[in-house]
Amino acid sequence: MPFHALEWSLQWSAYFLGQWALLEVLEYLGSLSVLVAVVFYFAETGDRIKQKHYQAWQVINTAEGKGGSGGRIEALHELNEDRVPLVGVDVSGAFLQGLELVKASLMRANLEAVDLRNCNLHASDLRYADLQSANLRGGDLTGVDFSHATLTDADLNGANLSGANLTRADLSGVDLSNTNLRAIVWHDLKSVDALNLYRVSHAPPEFVEWAMQHGAQSTAGEAQ
């Protein structure tokens, strides 16, 4: 009986409260507040994206000149995903193994002595970039534009350079052992002195012949 009495009381309370216009107004105001919040959320999307990009650049710039990753792999990937140009970025000496920057704008970037083993830079723009002593072993460098880039003493062992543009690039001391050189653009190379062409595949025959006449070699390294 007490439970029935309580139920009866609550039913009548609900009935009387349902007649109050104030409660109905408050219900509409609650729905309106949700709508306003949604509108403001979308209105501030641009500011949030700018803030995200600012934080990514802060990570990259703070770690400049330091070894290790320092969060730069994620920051670079995030910026490139939003199609933010990475022109002139300085990540020299950084550990960025496995970095994915497909179709990235890296013109004039400083990648000196950077560790980019097994990276994916497919169709990226690396014109005039500094890649001296960089480690790009096993990387996907298909369609990369290396024109006018400096790759002196870089390690590209086992990388895939199919369709890469090497026009006016400096390849002196570069290790191209076991690389795929199918359909590369190689005319007007700046230097191929001590370039290693050991076991390259699909290389244009005229390229190999010309390079060997201008200081290139074909020797197995200690690791092989």
Q: Delimit the domains of the chain by residue range.
A: 44-213
Q: Give the per-residue pLDDT at 223.
A: 47
Question: Which alpha helices (H) appear in the chain, and where do they start and end?
Answer: 2-18, 21-43, 45-62, 72-81, 205-213
pLDDT at 111: 97
Per-residue pLDDT of the chain (224 residues; tens, 9 = 90+): 766 676 766 666 665 655 656 656 666 667 766 766 666 556 656 667 888 899 999 999 998 878 778 899 999 999 999 999 999 999 999 999 999 999 999 999 999 999 999 999 999 999 999 999 999 999 999 999 999 999 999 999 999 999 999 999 999 999 999 999 999 999 899 999 999 999 999 999 899 999 999 999 999 865 44
The pLDDT, as a whole number, for residue 105 is 97
**Axis crossing angle, helix 45-62 with helix 72-81, rounded to the nearest 10:** 140
Contact present, 179 and 160 (Cβ < 8 Å): yes
In angstroms, the Cα distances linking 45 to 28, 38, 48, 49, 108 are: 26, 11, 5, 6, 31
On whether the CB atoms of residues 78 and 99 are closer than 8 A, the answer is no
Is pTM, for the whole model, over 0.85? no
Q: Can you say how many angstroms the Cα of residue 12 is from the centroid of all Cα atoms in its chain?
A: 65
Which amino acid is located at 140 in the chain? D
> Which of 2.60.120, 3.40.50, 2.60.40, 2.160.20 would CATH assign to domain 44-213?
2.160.20
Q: Say what the pLDDT of residue 43 is.
A: 62
* Per-residue pLDDT, 65: 78
Q: What pLDDT does residue 142 have?
A: 98
- DSSP-based three-state secondary structure for 101: coil
What pLDDT score does 222 carry?
Answer: 52
Phi, psi at residue 145, to the nearest 5°?
-95, 100
Q: What per-residue confidence (pLDDT) applies to 110?
A: 97
Q: Is 192 exposed, middle or buried (0-12, 13-18, 19+ CB in 10 A)?
A: buried
Q: What is the pLDDT of residue 204?
A: 93
At residue 49, the pLDDT reads 84
